[in-house]
Amino acid sequence: MKTYYNNDGNPYTLETLISFDSIQTESDKVARVINEKYEKIHIIGLLKGSFVFMTDLIRKITIPLTLDFMAVSSYEGTESTGEVKILKELNEPIGGKDIIILEDIVDTGLTLVKTVELLKTRAPKSIMIVSLLDKPSRRTMDSSADIACFEIPDEFVVGYGIDYEQRHRELKDICKVVFPATG
């Protein structure tokens, strides 16, 4: 097993948690739901973690769509700060549109709650939240995705667009970051 080193020089390894094939199977299901429910949609990908999921998913959607990106964060490193920052705003109005928010992970729920609150002030027709991963054990806010592809334990994960210190987004699988036991 390959050993990696974080920015502080601490070693860690990666263990596959969810395979690329499993992700594709779930994204097929999500696309079917979207294709059956809507006539046209506007997808908002929450950067940076959702971009690979978004890329694969939009190729499976058969209805007309437009898309945009938004960058919202409540994290520094591996920990939630408890404060949500908008790092990149939308480029176009969403009023009157059926919106699909694509999220990489619903963790504490803080980022999701604040993002939805903000978007609702812009008068979309509807909002559906689709998350690749869900960590319900970490939830501190009353929020959840309308569709969550995978429920995962309280593990720090990377791959398939999700990073650790801007690394490992290129991995096809979703992997858990394993730090050696200390003490």
Question: Can you read off the two tokens belonging to residue 161?
Answer: 């667009």
**Could you give the strand order of the β-sheet that contains 157-158, starting from the edge strand earlier in sequence?**
4-5, 11-18, 174-178, 157-158
Single-letter amino acid code for the residue at 52:
V
Does the active-site annotation cover 107? Answer: yes
Distance between CA atoms of 162 and 104, rounded to whole angstroms?
7
What residues contact 170, with CB distance under 8 A and at least 6 apart? 159
Mention every residue, 6+ apart, whose C-beta is less than 8 A from residue 28. Answer: 60
Give the C-alpha separation, 62 to 73, whole Å.
30
Of 107, 142, 154, 163, the active-site residue reads 107
Q: Minimal CA–CA distance to 4: which of 182, 161, 166, 178?
A: 178
Helix (H, G, I), strand (E, B) or coil at 121: coil
Residues annotated as part of the active site: 107
